[in-house]
């Protein structure tokens, strides 16, 4: 049975970052861990999925193996194929195999590089969680956030070497950052295992930056929150992630928006919902009431005999979403309040009122009248 694509196994795209690959593997290992499943068949299926996920992670989490897999698929990482990637024989040159390696290297754009042909890598992306109010989400805002930044080390001036010492050229790859490895009849480039693609070695690292050449600090970033943004959306700030390696571009910053729960409104897309309590007499007699909106107050005319749960729609009083040309609506859900403590006079008055209803002196609510009719039919 043919092996599934490793990226497909983990459910990530081919350009997934190391963090995305790690998160995907953790999710799979948690879901399919054999100890979490009961029954022989379920346990066997889970164990197979668990092993499949583990193999995919082991390959894609290793930069060298991932590069070989991206270039040649499963054949590039199959240890049973002649040549392999592991022994010193991978550095051997000359002969028929190397001639084939040069031919296929040209075909796939993997020509050998001269001095300075180092491997460059984009920096990792950063995430920042930002909490805002519903009003700020609806109207937008300008905000300042503090994020990590990396500046050249003042001690070594960005070289990573201890002052008074020099950075050496890696002798394994001659400063190229990559070495040629043989995989059967193919000649494949992989990141140099000695310098990890930098093409240089630092014999005595700078004590201030530990050989990194950069010092981590903080900087203030101006962020514009667009009007209509919703909970869970992300804002991308290009180039404000971690620095790249060997001159590679920096990663990006993703600001994850979290909208605080509002004490009155609930958002549903571009619409807003709120519960409006009214008195029992207001529901029975009707009248005008004021209701809150995000932009102030609005009036609603309550008809006589309004029932609990009645919904009133105020057009255009919702939120104008990011992709909307008009604002949504506000839905007011009526909640009829029942008195919890009554005076003797109020009790007497309500009793007289109820007696008058029973004698046909008024119209019952639709639901109670319907129930009464059903009750009579049931026992007739």
**Which positions make up the binding site for Zn(2+)?**
153, 156, 170, 173, 192, 195, 206, 209
- Angle made by CA atoms 116, 118, 119, in degrees to the nearest 5: 165
* Cα-based torsion angle of the residue sequence 348, 352, 353, 355 in order, rounded to the nearest 10 degrees: 140
Please, which residues have CB within 8 angstroms of residue 206's CB and are 6 or more apart in sequence?
Answer: 153, 155, 156, 159, 160, 161, 162, 163, 213
How far, in Å, CA of 301 to CA of 283, rounded? 11
Please, which residues have CB within 8 angstroms of residue 147's CB and are 6 or more apart in sequence?
Answer: 126, 128, 218, 219, 221, 240, 253
Q: Tell me if residue 29 falls in helix, strand or coil.
A: helix
Let me know: does 240 contact 254? Beta carbons within 8 Å.
Answer: no
Beta pairing partners, 214: 152
Distances from the Cα of 6 to the Cα of 24, 53, 56, 58, 62, angstroms: 12, 8, 5, 10, 13
- Annotated binding residues, written as ranges, equal 153, 156, 170, 173, 192, 195, 206, 209
- Angle made by CA atoms 263, 223, 145, in degrees to the nearest 5: 80
Beta strands 168-169 and 141-152 are: unpaired
């Amino acid at each position: 049975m043919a092996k599934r694509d490793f990226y497909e196994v983990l459910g990530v795209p081919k350009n997934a970052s190391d963090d995305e690959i790690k998160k995907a593997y953790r999710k799979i290992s948690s879901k399919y861990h054999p100890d979490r499943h009961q029954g022989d068949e379920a346990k066997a299926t889970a164990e197979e999925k668990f092993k499949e996920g583990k193999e995919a992670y082991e390959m894609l989490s290793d930069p060298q193996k991932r590069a070989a897999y991206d270039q040649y698929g499963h054949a590039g990482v199959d240890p049973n194929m002649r040549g392999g990637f592991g022994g010193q024989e991978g550095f051997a040159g000359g002969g028929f195999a190397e001639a084939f390696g040069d031919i296929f290297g040209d075909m796939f754009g993997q020509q050998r590089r001269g001095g300075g042909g180092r491997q460059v890598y984009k920096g990792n992306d950063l995430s920042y969680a930002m909490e805002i109010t519903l009003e700020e989400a609806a109207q937008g805002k300008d905000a300042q956030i503090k994020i990590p930044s990396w500046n050249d080390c003042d001690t070594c001036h960005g070289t990573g070497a201890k002052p008074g010492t020099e950075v050496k050229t890696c002798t394994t790859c001659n400063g190229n950052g990559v070495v040629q490895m043989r995989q059967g009849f193919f000649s494949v480039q992989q990141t140099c295992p000695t310098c990890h693609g930098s093409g240089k070695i630092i014999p005595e690292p700078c004590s201030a930056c530990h050989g990194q050449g950069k010092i981590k600090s903080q900087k203030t970033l101006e962020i514009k929150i667009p009007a209509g943004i919703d909970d869970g959306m992300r804002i991308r700030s290009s180039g404000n992630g971690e620095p790249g390696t060997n001159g590679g571009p920096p990663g990006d910053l993703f600001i994850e928006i979290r909208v605080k729960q509002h004490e009155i409104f609930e958002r549903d897309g571009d619409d807003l919902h709120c519960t409006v309590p009214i008195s029992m007499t207001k529901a029975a007699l009707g009248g005008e009431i004021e209701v809150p909106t995000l932009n102030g107050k609005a009036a609603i005319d309550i008809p006589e005999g309004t029932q609990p749960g009645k919904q009133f729609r105020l057009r255009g009083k919702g939120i104008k979403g990011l992709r909307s040309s008009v604002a949504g609506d506000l839905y007011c859900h009526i909640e009829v309040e029942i008195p919890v403590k009554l005076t003797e006079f109020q009790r007497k008055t309500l009793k007289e009122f109820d007696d008058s209803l029973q004698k046909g002196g008024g119209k019952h609510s639709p639901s109670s009248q319907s129930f009464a009719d059903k009750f009579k039919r049931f026992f007739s």
